[in-house]
């Protein structure tokens, strides 16, 4: 999500505010979502990197002219961001998704008797069956496999890294957050995004090292980064990979 902020003076609402939104949508092809707030004195504009939707937070009392000027002054910037939109991909049989950084076709086969079969070329799950009058969803099957692979991978790496530091964690959970790849709580609970299993192994191992290091240092001090380097000497290159490629892991719709 990219954003731009501009300070403005708030004034009374204009009756033509909504009509301008319709105009901007028709003339500039802008899908605008507005959130009005009495607590802000700035227009905050974010462009969703997946849908291209413009999400604006504006003062509750705003003159339509100030709003329209803001939009039109930043049209070039908005169009530049829209050009960078990442195409979203619906999970379906026959498409390719990365697993451990390697793209593989996802399929279902009636002769797959295990929970899944993973090779260098494909990920196969059993053909969806009917249970309690409801068909098992193929997307859910793939998501469950990714979570299972995540559990196997991160449990292994975190056990190894925590042993090196002489510490322990209480549990690991897997979620799908939008703004972080992992976390470590004061209760020594670790959390990882299951989407990381689509990244190269060494990148996911860096995230594991990062969170395990928080078991010793609940901050980002120099000592913390020295601990990360001890566990993952090439961590900087993996941070760079996530910065430039991490958003691609969110393009898959489950």
User: Are residues 249 and 145 part of one domain?
Assistant: yes
The residues near 7 (Cβ < 8 Å, ≥ 6 apart) are 41, 42
Asked if residue 128 belongs to a domain, the reply is no
Both structure tokens of 233:
């000497």
How many CA atoms lie within 13 Å of 218's alpha carbon, on the beta-carbon side? Answer: 7
Distance (Å, whole) CA 224 – CA 217: 6
User: Are residues 241 and 150 part of one domain?
Assistant: yes
pLDDT of the residue at 129: 63
User: Are residues 155 and 70 part of one domain?
Assistant: no
Asked if residue 112 belongs to a domain, the reply is no
User: Are residues 150 and 75 part of one domain?
Assistant: no
pLDDT of the residue at 104: 98
**Domain C-terminal end among 51, 83, 115:** 83
Distance (Å, whole) CA 147 – CA 150: 5
User: Per residue of the chain (254 residues), what is the pLDDT tens digit?
Assistant: 445 444 433 343 444 667 777 777 777 778 888 888 888 888 888 888 777 788 888 888 877 788 888 888 888 888 888 878 888 899 999 999 999 999 999 999 988 778 899 999 999 999 876 444 556 789 999 999 999 999 999 999 999 999 999 999 999 999 999 889 999 999 999 999 999 999 999 999 999 999 999 999 999 999 999 999 999 999 999 999 999 999 999 999 99
Domain that holds residue 230: 137-253
**Domain C-terminal end among 56, 83, 110:** 83
User: Are residues 248 and 185 part of one domain?
Assistant: yes
Both structure tokens of 26:
């028709």
175: CATH: 3.30.2010.10
DSSP states along the chain? -EEEEEE-------TTHHHHHHHHHHHH---EEEEEETT--EEEEEE-TTT--EEEEEESS--HHHHHHHHHHTHHHHHHHHHTPPPPEE--TT-EEEETTEEEEEEEETT--SS-EE-SSEEEEEPP-EETTEEPPHHHHHHHHHHHHHHHHHHHHHHHHHHHHT---SEEEEE--SS-SEEE-TT-EEEEEGGGGGS-HHHHHHHHHHHHHTTT-SS--HHHHHHHHHH-TTHHHHHHHHHHHGGGGGSEE-
Residues in the chain: 254
pLDDT of the residue at 134: 57
pLDDT of the residue at 78: 85
User: Are residues 66 and 153 part of one domain?
Assistant: no
The residues near 244 (Cβ < 8 Å, ≥ 6 apart) are none
**Domain C-terminal end among 19, 52, 83:** 83
Per the structure, the count of domains in the chain is: 2
Going by C-alpha positions, the residue among 66, 75, 71, 54 that lies closest to residue 3 is 54
Asked if residue 107 belongs to a domain, the reply is no
Q: What are phi and psi of 108, to 5 degrees?
A: -125, 140
User: Are residues 216 and 147 part of one domain?
Assistant: yes
pLDDT of the residue at 212: 99
């Amino acid at each position: 999500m990219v954003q731009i902020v501009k300070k403005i003076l708030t004034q009374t609402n204009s009756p033509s505010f909504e009509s301008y939104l319709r105009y901007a949508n028709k003339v500039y092809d802008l899908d605008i979502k507005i959130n009005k707030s009495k607590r802000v004195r700035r227009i905050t504009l974010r462009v969703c990197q997946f849908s291209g939707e413009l999400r604006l937070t504006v003062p509750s009392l705003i003159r339509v002219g100030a709003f329209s000027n803001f939009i039109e002054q930043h049209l070039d910037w908005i169009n530049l961001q829209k050009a960078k939109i990442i195409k979203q991909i619906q999970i379906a049989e026959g498409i390719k998704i990365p697993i451990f950084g390697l793209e593989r076709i996802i399929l279902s086969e009636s002769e797959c008797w295990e929970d899944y079969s993973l090779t260098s070329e494909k990920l196969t799950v059993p053909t969806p069956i009917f249970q309690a009058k409801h068909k098992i969803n193929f997307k859910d099957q793939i998501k469950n496999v990714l979570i299972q692979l995540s559990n196997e991978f991160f449990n292994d790496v975190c056990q190894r890294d925590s042993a090196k530091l002489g510490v322990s964690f209480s549990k690991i959970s897997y979620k799908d957050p939008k703004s972080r790849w992992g976390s470590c709580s004061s209760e020594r609970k670790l959390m990882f995004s299951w989407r990381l299993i689509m990244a190269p192994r060494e990148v996911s191992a860096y995230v594991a090292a990062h969170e395990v290091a928080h078991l010793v240092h609940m901050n980002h001090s120099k000592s913390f980064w020295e601990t990360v380097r001890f566990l993952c000497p090439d961590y900087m290159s993996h941070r760079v990979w996530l910065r430039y490629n991490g958003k691609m892991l969110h393009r898959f719709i489950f």
